[in-house]
A and B are shown apart, each in its own frame.
Chain A
Amino acid sequence: MKYNEKLSNVAVLGAAGKMGSGIVLLTAVEMANNCFAEGKSTDEVSLHAIDVSAPALGGLMKYLRSQILKNAEKITVQLRKWYATNPKLIENEDVINQYVNDVLSLVKPTTRIEAAYDAQLVFEAVSENPEVKVKLFSSINQNNPYNPWFLSNTSSIPINELDEKAGLNGNIIGFHFYNPPAVQKLMEIIPSKNTNQELFDFAEKLAKNLKKTIVFSNDMAGFIGNGFFMRDIIYAVSEVQKLSNQMSFIEALYVVDKVSRDFLIRPMGIFQLSDYVGIDVCLFIMKVMDERFSGETLQSQVLSGFMELGIKGGQFADGSQKDGIFKYTKGQITEIFDLEAKQYIDIKPVAESGDKFIGDMPPDWQPWKNIIKIRSREETLKQYFNGLKNMDTKGAKLAVSYAQKAGEIGKKLVNDGVAHSTDDVNTVMTTGFFHAYGPVNNYL
């Protein structure tokens, strides 16, 4: 069968990165499970985990071991069935350890790109740089006799462009995982106008087998997720610039971040989220989008300013947050970077004056972590936004126009032909960004 044949020899580029390691994990488990279901040994399949950094590949293998073990402990009932004919594996512990070894043994870590030259399937999760991706794709495609299929994890670069520049003849599709891939349910699938149908069917089947929530996006820079997120950042920055006529720049940053997190009931403030994703990554994506949307300026001088001073955010290999616009202690914002003084300063005095400006929290307000637990939360949210609308504080007014803008961005994605529907936009924001509600709604 084509599906299993394609999953018999796989390469992952950028395997040791945050996205790559998750893709390796999910794919290796899927490959192993296919083997077990067919009664084959996992020795018969290979996943080449390719990364430029040898030490990072060491970290990848440790990460894989711990995650596969956790997974195995949850599916032991099934594992005992798969290993029923091996008389040496008696206790759960025996079975679990064997499974971990079997899955790990199909992953071959390497720093050499040549390992991808006999792969049937190539996942790509390298940096969001079109030149780098094109170079890798074309060198693999030229040296690989099997016409491999490419699944790119790009979150912004049009697939057709990669296809044409690398000469892949439609053997490429956008297969965009959200961070972290092993946890996040959302999968944005982006076929280009030339993506071959077999590859499209394969990608859909794979995403389903990985138990992902699939949203199909059209092949336009930024797709749905970043199409929303980048415009959201740019709007937030413009609000900061407006506010900084009345207060210091860092106070304005604080105010917009807080309003976007607390008043809009999101898991993170907009600048906190930029730190989480990485300011460098955001700028890369904006550049890709800016160059491809002729009628729209998608740039942020403010973010570039941080970047020039080496303020990048992003995460360490263990998932902890690097310093960005904010500094974090145990996940809490404790300092903020002052662009003028070029140093971090204590958040407390900034918060104090910022909170005074914002005013009271809205009536019926509940934090995101509470709201997200309510299954049918529409009425709760309606009531909340109704209360927000009727407030006369500066915080509430900022929040209302922010929410309205978010709705506009959502609709624009449909009007521009990026998303098929506002429902798709809402699914991406609630599933991929963990928002408590979709941006296109009737709450205001």
Chain B
Amino acid sequence: MKKLRKRIFLTAGYNTVSIGTGRKEFNPKKQMPGLEHYMKEAGQASIAAVGGAQHIDECVVGNFMSARFNKQAHLGAFMPMIDEGLRYKPAMSVEGACASGGLALLAGVRSVLAETADMVLVIGIEVQNSMKAIYGADVLAGAGWFHKRKEGHAYFFPGQFSNRAGAYFDKYGRDYARKGFARWYQNAIENARLCPTAQEFENKTEDLEKLALIEPNPSAFTDFLNVFDCSKVSDGASSIVVASEEGLKKARIPLSEAVEITGWGQAEEDITKEPDDLTRLSTMAESVKQALQSAGITINDLATIELHDCFTIAGILAMEAIGFAKQGEGARFVAEGHTSRNGKIPVNTTGGLIGWGHPTGATGVHMAVTIWEQLTGKAGKAQIKISHERPYGLSVNMGGDDKSLVALVYRKAE
């Protein structure tokens, strides 16, 4: 039962800056802003945009691992800190690894569908520069099955996706694949340079392709990926409001300020199982299929996609999973520029996880905010043209190694 029984809208999106290496304000030796700071900044911005907390009926926080990164759980109870008007209102935190943000959005959607709320504030948040990357890798490894941690790589997830890259190399050729990786990285940085909140906004590297093609160093990192194939460690929050039509009316928000969620897909795979095929993201494919079907559209109707490129190889495999390229053709599709902002299908128009940043629990919400910005014409210098013939946006948020997937289809509200 995928069809939405009620019209669901998103409005009042906001992204904080994605903070981490690459940003001038980032200095790990100094006390950096914590969870409270980012939740306040994002939450208060969205609340102000809907005219005050009186319009918000519920809150959902998407977060992955604050309990380890910041020794702080129980994030729902921070909502009244953001605004006193949220005191005694329902709030909760949801977790599904890097798909926590997408799941938080869906939790908000369900509340509106269930008619227990007309407006739900959804915040995604992660602050993970609280520890060195080598220890952060332990925390992030929690997105996999802990029984497999011992045999995993020091950098667990880069190790997992390096294995996928290795399998792709074996099947389709190393140089061929790495060309696609390099173009993916180049697109990510070039797009991030157009978005002031992006972690790579200030990246000045001239020859991005050359940088991206630096040989992997297995003794210090993974066998098949270098650090430019990976999203960075990021701190940040994103927020958006899920609303019913009544909710928008009550808050006097015109439809032109909103996007409508017209389709959704959510798929879960067994975390204790190895992937059937390392060169496929089959759970992602399933969730996207569900989302497109429920929206009643095909990929040809899409104007833009925000997808989960935690690693370049994930970006390539995602293009195959979504259906833009056949198996093994994803690297060519990307290398030929079809996913660039002027290509057939502009992907990750503000840099995605590699360029904009990947505050893990926030990412799913960040994707929704970016699509909302693009479809409502608020994307600033990163704005792409949205045609009437292809008015839809798609976001694909992944938790773990193709284990928890949330895909959403959006169009400008009318």
Which A residues fall within an 8 A CB radius of B?
A: 73-74, 76-80, 87, 89-93, 96
The 6 closest A-B pairs by CB, nearest first: A91-B138, A76-B154, A77-B154, A90-B150, A73-B134, A92-B138
Asked if B221 is at the interface (CB within 8 A of a chain A CB), the reply is yes
Asked if B153 is at the interface (CB within 8 A of a chain A CB), the reply is yes
A79–B153 CA distance with the chains assembled, in angstroms = 11
CB distance from B128 to the nearest CB of A (A): 15
Which B residues fall within an 8 A CB radius of A?
A: 132, 134-135, 137-138, 141, 146, 149-150, 153-155, 218-221
CB distance from B216 to the nearest CB of A (A): 12
B137 nearest in chain A by CB position: A92
A93 touches B153 (CB 8 A): no
B141 touches A91 (CB 8 A): yes
A89 neighbours in B (Cβ, 8 Å): 150
B220 touches A77 (CB 8 A): yes
A74–B153 CA distance with the chains assembled, in angstroms = 14
B219 neighbours in A (Cβ, 8 Å): 77-78
A76 touches B134 (CB 8 A): yes
A78–B138 CA distance with the chains assembled, in angstroms = 16
From A73, A77, A80, A92, residue with most partner B Cβ within 10 Å: A92
A-B contact sample (10 more), CB < 8 A, given A76-B154, A92-B135, A93-B135: A73-B132, A77-B153, A77-B221, A80-B154, A90-B149, A91-B138, A91-B141, A91-B149, A92-B134, A92-B137
A92 neighbours in B (Cβ, 8 Å): 134-135, 137-138, 154
B218 nearest in chain A by CB position: A77
B156 nearest in chain A by CB position: A92
A89–B154 CA distance with the chains assembled, in angstroms = 12
Instruction: List, sorted by A's number, 5 A–B pairs whose CB atoms are closer than 8 Å.
Output: A73-B134, A76-B134, A80-B154, A91-B141, A92-B137
A77 neighbours in B (Cβ, 8 Å): 153-155, 218-221
A386–B218 CA distance with the chains assembled, in angstroms = 46
Given A77-B153, A80-B154; A93-B220 close (CB under 8 Å): no
Q: Which of B138, B146, B218, B221 contacts A93 (CB 8 A)?
A: B138
A72 nearest in chain B by CB position: B134
CB distance from A75 to the nearest CB of B (A): 8
A96 neighbours in B (Cβ, 8 Å): 134
B137 neighbours in A (Cβ, 8 Å): 92
CB distance from A83 to the nearest CB of B (A): 10
B135 neighbours in A (Cβ, 8 Å): 92-93
A79 neighbours in B (Cβ, 8 Å): 154
A263–B9 CA distance with the chains assembled, in angstroms = 68
B150 touches A87 (CB 8 A): yes
A110–B13 CA distance with the chains assembled, in angstroms = 64
A256–B149 CA distance with the chains assembled, in angstroms = 61
A259–B149 CA distance with the chains assembled, in angstroms = 58
B149 neighbours in A (Cβ, 8 Å): 90-91
CB distance from A80 to the nearest CB of B (A): 5
A355–B179 CA distance with the chains assembled, in angstroms = 56
B150 nearest in chain A by CB position: A90
A87 neighbours in B (Cβ, 8 Å): 150
A440–B236 CA distance with the chains assembled, in angstroms = 54
A74 neighbours in B (Cβ, 8 Å): 220
B132 neighbours in A (Cβ, 8 Å): 73
A89–B220 CA distance with the chains assembled, in angstroms = 19
A25–B150 CA distance with the chains assembled, in angstroms = 29
CB distance from A92 to the nearest CB of B (A): 5
B146 neighbours in A (Cβ, 8 Å): 90
A79–B154 CA distance with the chains assembled, in angstroms = 9
A91 neighbours in B (Cβ, 8 Å): 138, 141, 149
A80 neighbours in B (Cβ, 8 Å): 153-154
A73–B141 CA distance with the chains assembled, in angstroms = 17
B217 nearest in chain A by CB position: A77
A92–B139 CA distance with the chains assembled, in angstroms = 10
